[in-house]
């Protein structure tokens, strides 16, 4: 630590200790163009009403498109979709030329074969630090039992053995 400030590299390393799922967040630009990017800053927010949130760097070239979109989809990737995660995290053109894409609510691109897909109406967005938070009201959801893609410590991981949770609920505090 310097002058009471956190070392950003140390913070990034510590945050990388939290395993996350990997998503491709998609929307339609006002021109009709499909836009998507790989995101691991996704979280459940509320069951009643059904809401989720995700965040995007303020420096992202996609920020204005997502700000103007009334709907978006969170496509939670399966392990088998690791190449799509890499593709949507890159600057490669024609990102949607790979994968099986359909149209969801308001024409938002939805990806087949995902662990889950949340189609959302934008409820609000706000700046928080160097990111914009997007809160979405879930209007449609699909899911299937497939191993999800996991990101931890700056690397992709496969899940190991699945442990039984007989209650189907998260531990205390959730």
* SS3 per residue for the chain: CECCECCHHHHHHHHCCCCEECEEEEEECCCCCEEEEEECCEEEEEECCEEEEEEEECCCCCHHHHHHCCEEEEEECEHHHHHHHHHHCCCCCCHHHCCCEEECHHHCEEECCCCEEEEEEEEEEEEECCEEEEEEEEEEEEECCCCECEEECCEEECCCCCCCCCCCCCCCCC
Q: Which residue is it, tokens 């400030």?
A: 5
pLDDT at 153: 86
CA angle 36, 38, 40 (to 5 degrees): 135
- Answering whether pTM is above 0.85, one says yes
Question: What rounded mean pLDDT belongs to the chain?
Answer: 90
**If you average pLDDT over residues 122-142, what whole number do you get?**
97
CB 102 within 8 A of CB 40: no
CA angle 83, 87, 91 (to 5 degrees): 160
Predicted confidence band of residue 2 (pLDDT cuts 50, 70, 90): very low
Predicted confidence band of residue 1 (pLDDT cuts 50, 70, 90): very low
**Structural domains of the chain ordered from first start:** 13-157 (2.30.110.10)
Q: What percent of the chain has pLDDT over 70?
A: 89
pLDDT reading at 72 higher than 80: yes
**If you average pLDDT over residues 165-169, what whole number do you get?**
56
Residues in the chain: 174
pLDDT at 163: 60
Six-digit token string for 168: 């189907």
């Amino acid at each position: 630590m310097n002058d009471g400030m956190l070392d950003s590299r140390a913070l990034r390393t510590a945050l990388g200790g939290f395993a996350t799922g990997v998503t491709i967040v998609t929307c339609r630009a006002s021109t009709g163009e499909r836009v998507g990017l790989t995101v691991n800053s996704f979280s459940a927010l509320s069951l009643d009403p059904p809401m989720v949130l995700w965040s995007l760097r303020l420096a992202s070239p996609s920020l204005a498109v997502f700000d103007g979109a009334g709907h978006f989809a969170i496509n939670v990737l399966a392990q088998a979709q690791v190449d799509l995660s890499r593709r949507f995290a890159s600057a490669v053109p024609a990102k949607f030329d790979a994968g099986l894409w359909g149209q969801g609510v308001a024409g938002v691109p939805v990806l087949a074969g995902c662990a889950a897909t949340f189609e959302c109406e934008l409820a609000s967005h706000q700046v928080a630090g160097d990111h914009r938070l997007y809160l979405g009201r879930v209007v449609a959801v699909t899911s299937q039992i497939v191993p999800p893609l996991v990101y931890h410590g700056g690397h992709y991981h496969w899940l190991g053995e699945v442990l039984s949770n007989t209650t189907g609920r998260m531990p205390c505090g959730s």
